[in-house]
C-alpha cells in the first residue's frame, strides 16, 4: 500500500500543483463509509499542536484527493486501520518519501479519524 499512497500524493501534486507557502500543515484524514475506509488529504493555513481543531476543515470536493484503503483491510476495526495508516505514513516520512514540493513547507503532518485524536507524522 505504501507505493499506492506515494502515487496518490504525487498525483495530487501533479493535478493541483504546489500550494502557497501559507499552507503550513497537512492532515491525512480517515473516515469509514459503506464500502470501507477512505483517506483524504487537506492542507491548512494554521497549525496548533495543542488543539486538533486546526484540522477541522471542509472535506475536499475533488475526487483525486481521496484514497480508498484496500479492500484487504476493509473488515478490520477502526483502531487497526488507524495504526496501519499512521505506521505507513511514518515510514514514508522516515524514508524521506514525503519530502516532495507539495508537502515541503509543512511544519506538521498528521493523520487520524475525523472524530478522533490526531497522530503526528511530522
Percent of the chain with pLDDT over 90: 74
Contacts of 19 (CB under 8 A, 6+ apart): 43, 102, 105
Per-residue confidence (pLDDT) for residue 26, from 0 to 100? 97
- Domain residue spans of the chain: 2-120
Cell 493535478 locates to: 15
Q: Encode pLDDT of 26-84 as tens digits.
A: 999 999 988 889 999 999 999 998 988 888 888 899 999 999 998 777 778 899 999 99
As a whole number of angstroms, the distance between CA 53 and CA 38 comes to: 20
Question: Cell 494554521 maps to which residue?
Answer: 46
Amino acid at each position: 500500500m505504501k507505493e499506492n499512497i506515494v502515487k496518490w500524493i504525487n498525483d495530487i501534486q501533479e493535478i493541483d500543483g504546489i500550494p502557497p507557502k501559507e499552507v503550513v500543515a497537512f492532515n491525512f484524514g480517515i473516515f469509514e463509509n459503506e464500502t470501507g475506509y477512505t483517506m483524504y488529504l487537506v492542507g491548512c493555513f494554521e497549525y496548533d499542536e495543542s488543539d486538533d481543531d486546526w484540522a477541522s476543515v471542509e472535506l475536499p470536493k475533488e475526487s483525486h484527493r481521496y484514497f480508498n484503503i484496500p479492500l484487504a483491510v476493509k473488515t478490520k476495526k477502526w483502531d487497526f486501520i488507524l495504526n496501519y495508516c499512521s505506521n505507513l505514513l511514518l515510514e514514508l516520512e522516515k524514508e524521506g518519501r514525503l519530502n516532495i514540493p507539495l508537502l515541503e513547507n509543512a511544519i506538521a503532518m498528521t493523520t487520524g479519524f475525523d472524530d478522533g485524536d490526531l497522530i503526528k507524522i511530522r
